[in-house]
């Protein structure tokens, strides 16, 4: 998978193939040597508390359906009001 394809996974469900940890891919990171990782943000529990997310190597993640449309996400570039976050579908 190339870097653009990795970035395009933002907003999809992801499951770690080894630990079965599940969440929405809410961030992508590339290190100096080319390793790509996804930050998985899990769903809120019954008390509406969101558990801590985790960084996972992109090769360990089984991709699921898209939860958030990244085309609709507004980025705060410092020139205007801050975004209140992406729409949830």
Q: What's the pLDDT tens digit per position in 23-51?
A: 999 999 999 988 999 999 999 889 999 89
Of 57, 66, 59, 83, the residue nearest 24 (C-alpha): 66
Question: Can you give the pLDDT at residue 89?
Answer: 44
- Model pLDDT, residue 70: 65
From residue 54, how far is each of 17, 28, 48, 81 by CA, in Å? 14, 11, 18, 29
Q: Domain locations in the chain?
A: 3-72
Which tokens is 42 given?
Answer: 């899990």
Which fold does the domain 3-72 belong to in CATH?
SH3 type barrels. (2.30.30)
Q: Report pTM.
A: 0.75
Contacts of 72 (CB under 8 A, 6+ apart): 86, 87
53 confidence band (pLDDT: 50, 70, 90): very high
Residue 3 near residue 30, CB atoms below 8 Å: yes
Task: Give the mean pLDDT of 12-29.
Answer: 96
């Amino acid at each position: 998978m190339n870097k653009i394809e990795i970035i395009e996974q933002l907003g999809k469900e992801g499951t770690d193939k080894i630990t079965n940890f599940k969440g929405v891919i809410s961030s992508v990171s590339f290190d100096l040597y080319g390793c790509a990782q996804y930050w998985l943000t899990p769903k809120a529990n019954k008390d509406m508390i969101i558990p801590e997310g985790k960084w996972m190597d992109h090769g360990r993640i089984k991709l699921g359906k898209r939860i958030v449309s990244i085309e609709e996400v507004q980025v705060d570039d410092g020139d205007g009001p801050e975004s209140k976050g992406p729409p949830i579908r």
